[in-house]
Amino acid sequence: MGKKGGIATLVLQSRLWIRAVMKAIRIFKEILIAFILVRILKIKSFYYLYKFS
């Protein structure tokens, strides 16, 4: 009984942990994409400012 309960708790904990990791990865990806887009926009705006100045 004790062992089964322990395994169930472990499975539940690992599921929660995996979900937390997935969430963290998704947030990190979104931040990374946003950062790259900002960099691209900055480079483009600098290019246009330089080109039309």
Q: Above 80 in pLDDT, residue 2?
A: no
CA distance 32 to 53: 31
**Smallest Cα–Cα separation from 10: which of 18, 20, 22?**
18
- Global pTM reads 0.56
DSSP per position, 29-43:
HHHHHHHHHHHHHHH
pLDDT for residue 7? 86
Q: What is the pLDDT of residues 27-41, one digit of tens each?
A: 999 999 999 999 999
Phi first, then psi, for residue 19 (nearest 5°) are -60, -45
pLDDT for residue 50? 81
CA distance 41 to 52: 16
